């Protein structure tokens, strides 16, 4: 959905707020929501460039918040921290793992052949210049809008500044985050499905 679809949920609470300010804080709220809930989960394009290196390419307007699962040739590969992973790679370890080695790049050990299919499931968030947010977040538009209101109403010295308004909407945002986390991690049927775990 376009970010401006949330303006009607935000504007009545912060009358006089300029549109660019509203847009910025709606985007920040959506990013914060995704970071805290990991709600937006999807498969990311993974390009196997050889020597165990895989480049991850999220769709335009999105960036990776977290890597959920990695599969090489249909088998799940578990993660190591960057420090321990790089040490194992340097030591020529034969242990099966992956580690994040840079922005949008992971290393898989042992290195899969160039023709081996690598699939990566990630949680995503909007970028700082995104014009849209995922339709997966439709259910949480009220909570995300409240997060934006809380941020905007906390701006100092504005006609729409209000500590009470900010506090009220911050509580609503926090409650939405809490509910989304429960739905996702307790297996609610309304939570996004982990679609890729068994499809190989």
The rounded mean pLDDT for the chain is 91
Structure tokens at 64: 């990776």
Percentage with pLDDT > 90 across the chain: 86
Asked whether residue 189 carries a pLDDT value surpassing 60, the answer given is: no
Distance CA 58, CA 105 (A): 12
Residue showing tokens 């590969």? 77
Whether residue 185 is predicted with pLDDT greater than 90 in this model: the reply is: no
| Nearest alpha carbon to residue 37 among 196, 193, 182 | 182
Average pLDDT over residues 40-55: 92
Reported as a single tens digit per residue, the pLDDT across 137-162 is: 999 999 999 999 999 999 999 999 99
pLDDT of residue 184: 87
pLDDT at residue 68, as a whole number? 92
For 160, phi and psi rounded to 5 degrees? Answer: -100, 5
188 vs 169, residue with greater confidence:
169
**Residues whose CB is less than 8 angstroms from the CB of residue 90 and which lie 6 or more positions away in sequence, other chains included:** none
pLDDT at 193: 47
Neighbour tally for 193: CB within 10 Å: 8
Q: Are 148 and 160 in contact (CB under 8 A)?
A: no
Q: How many helices (H) and strands (E) does the chain have?
A: 5, 7
Query: What is the arithmetic mean of pLDDT over 34-44?
Result: 94
List the domain boundaries for the chain: 3-39+134-185, 41-125
Helix (H, G, I), strand (E, B) or coil at 195: coil
């Amino acid at each position: 959905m376009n970010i401006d679809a949330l303006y009607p949920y935000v504007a009545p609470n912060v009358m006089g707020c300029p549109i660019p300010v509203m847009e910025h804080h709606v985007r920040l709220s959506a990013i914060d929501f995704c970071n805290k809930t990991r709600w937006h989960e999807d498969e990311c394009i993974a390009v196997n460039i050889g020597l165990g290196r895989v480049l991850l390419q999220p769709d335009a307007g999105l960036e990776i918040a977290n890597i959920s699962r990695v599969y090489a040739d249909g088998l799940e590969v578990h993660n190591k921290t960057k420090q321990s992973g790089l040490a194992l790679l340097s030591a020529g370890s034969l242990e099966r793992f992956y580690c994040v080695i840079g922005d949008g790049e992971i290393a898989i050990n042992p290195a899969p052949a160039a023709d081996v299919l690598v699939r990566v499931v990630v949680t995503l968030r909007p970028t700082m210049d995104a014009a849209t947010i995922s339709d997966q977040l439709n259910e949480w538009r009220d909570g995300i809008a409240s997060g934006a209101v809380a941020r905007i109403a906390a701006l100092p010295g504005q006609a729409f500044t209000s500590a009470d308004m900010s506090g009220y909407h911050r509580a609503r945002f926090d409650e939405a985050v809490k509910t989304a986390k429960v739905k996702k991690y307790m297996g609610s049927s309304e939570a996004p499905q982990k679609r890729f775990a068994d499809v190989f």
